[in-house]
Amino acid sequence: DAGVIQSPRHEVTEMGQEVTLRCKPISGHDYLFWYRQTMMRGLELLIYFNNNVPIDDSGMPEDRFSAKMPNASFSTLKIQPSEPRDSAVYFCASSPGSSGNTIYFGEGSWLTVV
């Protein structure tokens, strides 16, 4: 079975540009998560969805960040405008259910904002 698929794997963009990261969760999983990983802050949960509905976005750092899940097989994380401090690895993950079920991670999108 295919795992969580993220694109792009690597992106370098200029400050002020819009960045869109994409994720396809594992089929049948009800939960989708966006995490950000940096050296300074480690792994942080940005937002998660249940059945395509955002449940908790308290980790989204600023209004420049937005996430959508228009259907069960696709989600986007958008940064507009991007800033150098947004440089990080962004992971999408999915899970088949709540309360401790295993969360499966994609391989990440490595974002560099110059």
Partner 1 sequence: AQSVTQPDIHITVSEGASLELRCNYSYGATPYLFWYVQSPGQGLQLLLKYFSGDTLVQGIKGFEAEFKRSQSSFNLRKPSVHWSDAAEYFCAVGGHTGTASKLTFGTGTRLQVTL
Q: Which residues bind partner 1 (CB under 8 A)?
A: 4, 31, 33, 42-43, 45, 48, 50, 55-56, 91, 93, 95, 97-108
SS3 19: strand
CB of residue 68 to partner 1, shortest distance in Å: 19
The nearest distance, CB 99 to partner 1, in angstroms, is: 5
User: Dihedral of CA 45/86/25/107: which sign?
Assistant: negative
Compute CA distances 23 → 39, 57, 71, 84, 106, whole Å. Answer: 23, 17, 11, 22, 8
Task: Supply the minimum distance, in Å, between the C-beta of residue 75 and partner 1.
Answer: 15
DSSP notation for 65-78:
EEEEEEETTEEEEE
**What are the structure tokens assigned to 104, written together?**
């499966």
Q: Which is nearer to partner 1, 81 or 87 (CB)?
A: 87
Query: Is 81 or 96 the residue whose CB approaches partner 1 more closely?
Result: 96
Terminal Cα distance for the chain, rounded: 36
Residue 19 or 23: the one with the smaller Cβ distance to partner 1 is: 23
Q: Rank residues 45 and 81 by Cβ distance to partner 1 and give the closer one.
A: 45
Q: How far is the CB of 16 from partner 1 (least distance, A)?
A: 28
